[in-house]
Amino acid sequence: MELATGRVLTIGHSSMPIDVFLDQLYLTGVTVVADVRSSPNSRHSHFCMNYLKPTLKNAGIDYVFMGKELGGRPKDERLYIGGVADYEKMAEEEDFKAGMQRLVDGASRHTIALMCSEYNPLDCHRCLLVGRALNKRGIEVGHIMADATVVEHDTVEKKLLQLTRGAEDDFFAPPLERLNRAYRMRSLKVAYRQKSSARRDLQNQE
């Protein structure tokens, strides 16, 4: 794979007020918000697409919905293992690869922020799936935090390794193997679960 060049940011809107969200975009120079939520709606109404898109337009920021290509809740049953969305399988889908190419092409002309709902990038597919895939393609990835500072993706990966470190960890394994294992472990913990699978997990905990 020929490596691309460019930079893409990510942001999780969580429950922040819309003015704070806009301030974070301004402070980090974002010109395009790429919405990677599977459904562009939120219990916080100002982050529903019908409200957010014109709000961003009035602020001079473009909005594009990419949840079909890059969302974290696939409709295809093949992309689940044990009821949990499988990020590694999702990354091999043609729609996903097409979405990646759109981001790579756009990163050469715009400052793009991938937007999802979770505040912590390590709780969200924008980091564990999309950010990882961009990074593999040579794109620099940074994650916008609450104070509008940007944490680089390699720093987040170091945190990921710390979070997933356990007694079974093989410290003699090659670094890439350890990192891939850490991604799988974290993804299994935070990826979307089909409702029937989530119910079974709750029953097993009772």
pLDDT band with cut points at 50, 70 and 90 for residue 206: very low
CATH architecture of structural domain 7-197: 3-Layer(aba) Sandwich (3.40)
pLDDT tens, position by position, 37-93: 999 999 999 999 999 999 999 999 999 999 999 999 999 999 999 999 999 999 999
The answer to whether 115 and 13 have CB atoms below 8 angstroms apart is yes
pLDDT tens, position by position, 1-47: 667 789 999 999 999 999 999 999 999 999 999 999 999 999 999 99
The structural domains of the chain, with segments of one domain joined by +, span 7-197
pLDDT tens, position by position, 99-121: 999 999 999 999 999 999 999 99
Q: What was the pLDDT predicted at 192?
A: 98
> Over pLDDT 90: what percentage of the chain?
85
Could you tell me which residues are beta bridge partners of residue 32? Answer: 62, 112
> Which DSSP helix (H) or strand (E) runs through 60?
none
47: exposed, middle or buried (C-beta count within 10 Å: 0-12, 13-18, 19+)? buried
Least Cα distance to 114 among 152, 73, 65 occurs for 65
| Top-confidence residue, 203 or 123 | 123
Q: What was the pLDDT predicted at 2?
A: 65
The answer to whether 50 and 20 have CB atoms below 8 angstroms apart is no
Residues 6+ apart with CB under 8 A from 48: 40, 41, 42
The answer to whether 178 and 184 have CB atoms below 8 angstroms apart is no
Is pLDDT of 143 > 70? yes
Coil, helix or strand at residue 112: strand
The answer to whether 32 and 62 have CB atoms below 8 angstroms apart is yes
Coil, helix or strand at residue 62: strand
pLDDT tens, position by position, 154-194: 999 999 999 988 645 666 778 899 999 999 999 999 999 99
pTM for the predicted model, two decimal places:
0.90
